[in-house]
Structure formats: structure tokens, C-alpha cells
Amino acid sequence: MKPFAVLLMVSVAATGIITIGCSTAADTYGAPISKSESTDIKDILVRPQDYAGKTVTIEGTIVRECPTGCWFDLESGNAVLHVDINPAGFAIPQEVGSRALVEGEIQYLDNQVSMLGQGVKIQ
């Protein structure tokens, strides 16, 4: 077999392996999401004191995101919650417009409600 043909076959095989490997794991970031039942973002915003310090799962659409992927705003209905994932030590790629499932701790400080995200799954 000619060296060019071998090189071509190896390149095609490597590209396939990389593509398959990236496509299966690329949609989950940070810690695995352990809570399957999601909490409505509107409920959190209406009664933040009930959720402060608790770990919950939320879902919605990413409507705004940091250019480096360290935070984003998640919208469900007309309610939007800011999610900071930087303290957890990970970032996500640019996913504005994508649906996401997020698990994290609700913060309620100085009348501001946000989430410290621990795990994100892009759907």
C-alpha cells in the first residue's frame, strides 16, 4: 500500500474517533446533574428566600452568555435567572439559543437572586 493511502486512512479514522468522542461528551459540563425534577425559575424569583442556599435543577433557554462562557442567563417563560459557573471551575462554549438543564445553589444576597451553577447539560 502506498504511504499516501495509509496516511489518508489513518487521518480518516482519527477524525472519526475524535468526532464521536467529542459529540457524546460535549453536551455536559461540570458536575453530573443529580436531581431529575426541575424547579420553575419563576418560583425561585417569586420566593427566593425559600430557595436560598438550596441546590436545585432548573431548565430553560440560554439568552445571554459571557464571551468566555463563565456565566449565562437562563430563561423559562418570562423569568430569567443569572447562572455563574466560574466558581465551579468550568465554562461552556457559546450556546445562546440552546436549551439547558442546570444544577446549582441558589444565592439570595442584597435582594439579588442568582445561581452558582455546578453542572450544565446542553439539550
Asked if residue 18 is part of any domain, the answer here is: no
Task: Return the C-alpha cell found at 38.
Answer: 426541575
Rounded Cα distance, 34 and 71, in Å: 21
Task: Please give the pLDDT value at position 1.
Answer: 54
Asked if residue 24 is part of any domain, the answer here is: no
Task: Please give the pLDDT value at position 35.
Answer: 83
Q: How far is CA 8 from CA 3, 17, 21, in A?
A: 9, 14, 20
Task: Return the C-alpha cell found at 59.
Answer: 431548565
Q: Which domain holds residue 91?
A: 29-122
pTM across the whole model: 0.78
Domain count within the chain: 1
One digit per residue, the tens of pLDDT, for the chain of length 123 reads: 565 544 445 454 444 444 444 444 449 999 999 988 999 999 999 999 999 999 999 999 999 999 999 999 999 999 999 999 999 999 999 999 999 999 999 999 999 999 999 999 999
CATH number at residue 71: 2.40.50.200
Asked if residue 1 is part of any domain, the answer here is: no
Asked if residue 91 is part of any domain, the answer here is: yes
**Pairing status of strand 79-84 against strand 112-122:** parallel
CB atoms within 10 A of CB 79: 16
